[in-house]
């Protein structure tokens, strides 16, 4: 874990100006995001989103793309109304989930939130190679890597999440996450340690935005409950109660009315 913290500290030395994917071999140019789920196929054209100059722009664009695909019947056709309500709500939550203002007084400097840093896209742990003495010898599977703001790039890897508690809606950091934060602090990087200590909300929102509802609807319930509890919006409500509130909240919007008129569920 200490060696991984050193790797993150090293990555912090190489900032980028925008959020996106590296798209020119051998160069540091950042272009659109290389992610199939964030690609629109319209009139035989493939349109990827990005790059972005802010996390807010990224969230708005990616969630709007999902809404557009739902309305066109290209995504969640069997869960259209539920998926629409969820992603419409996630758009409303964007101001509440953006990293805290870096202008607040701190005894230690925060990472430059106007910069972006390389982030592995699948950090579940099997991307790290070690030798017989558990020294890190390499990190593989970078093909979907992208640049991300400090709050995402230096948050704890998914491998450190307390999986059962996380899926059940708990917003308490796990022991491995806390240990990772302490390692940053012991290495003189309290700024990066704060990315971990404040990272639960970022994990929650990212999971809810990118989760495959059709594949695991029941598993999503705990994640969504945890997000609402974390931001203190519609907290403590079960799914059916929340859906009733959301139907009233967005009932006048053309998108929802279109789905209902088509008889979508």
Instruction: Concatenate the DSSP letters of all residues of the chain into one string.
Output: -HHHHHHHHHHTTS-BSSBSEE-STTS--EES---GGGEEEETTEEEE---BSSHHHHHHHHHHHHHHHHHTTSS-TTSHHHHHHHHHHHHHHHHHHSPPPTTS--SSPPP-TTSBEEE-S--SSTTEEE-TT--EEEE---TT-EEE-HHHHTSPPGGGS-HHHHHTT--SPPHHHHHHHHHHHHTT-HHHHHHHHT-HHHHHHHHHHH--TTT-HHHHHHHHHHHHHHHTSSTT--HHHHHHHHHHHHTTSHHHHHHHHTT--
For residue 155, count other CB atoms closer than 10 A to its CB.
Answer: 29
Beta bridge partners of 130: 136
pLDDT tens per residue across all 265 residues of the chain: 999 999 999 999 999 999 999 998 889 999 999 988 888 987 778 889 999 999 999 999 999 999 999 999 999 999 999 999 999 999 999 999 999 753 344 445 455 558 999 999 888 878 888 889 888 988 888 888 999 999 999 999 999 999 999 999 999 999 999 999 999 999 999 999 999 999 999 999 999 999 999 999 999 999 999 999 999 999 999 999 999 999 999 999 999 999 999 987 7
Model confidence over 72-87: pLDDT tens digits? Answer: 999 999 999 999 999 9
With left for phi above 0 and alpha for psi between -120 and 50, is residue 87 left, alpha or beta?
alpha
- The count of C-alpha atoms lying within 13 angstroms of the C-alpha of 230, restricted to the half-sphere facing its C-beta, is 26
């Amino acid at each position: 874990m200490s060696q991984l913290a050193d790797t993150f500290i090293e990555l912090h030395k190489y900032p980028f100006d925008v959020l996106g994917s590296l798209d020119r071999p051998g160069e540091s140019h950042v272009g659109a995001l290389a992610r199939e789920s964030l690609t629109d196929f319209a009139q035989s054209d493939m349109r990827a989103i990005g790059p972005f100059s802010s996390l807010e722009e990224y969230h708005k664009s990616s969630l709007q793309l999902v809404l557009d695909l739902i309305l066109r019947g290209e995504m969640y056709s069997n869960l259209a109304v539920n998926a629409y309500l969820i992603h419409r709500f996630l758009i409303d939550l964007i101001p509440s989930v953006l990293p805290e203002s870096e202008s607040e007084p701190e005894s230690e400097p925060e990472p430059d939130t106007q910069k972006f840093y390389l982030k592995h896209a699948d950090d579940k742990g099997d991307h790290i190679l070690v030798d017989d003495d558990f020294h890190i010898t390499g990190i593989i599977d970078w093909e979907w890597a992208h640049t991300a703001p400090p709050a995402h790039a230096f948050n704890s890897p998914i491998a450190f999440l307390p999986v059962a508690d996380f899926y059940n809606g708990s917003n308490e950091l796990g022991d491995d996450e806390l240990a990772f934060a302490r390692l940053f602090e012991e290495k003189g990087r309290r700024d990066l340690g704060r990315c971990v200590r404040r990272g639960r909300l970022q994990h929650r929102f990212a999971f809810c935005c990118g989760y495959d509802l059709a594949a695991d609807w029941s598993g999503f319930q705990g994640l969504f409950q945890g997000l609402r509890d974390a931001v203190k919006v519609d907290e403590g409500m079960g799914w059916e109660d929340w859906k009733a509130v959301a139907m009233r909240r967005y009932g006048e919007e053309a998108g929802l009315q279109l789905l209902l008129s088509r008889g979508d569920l």
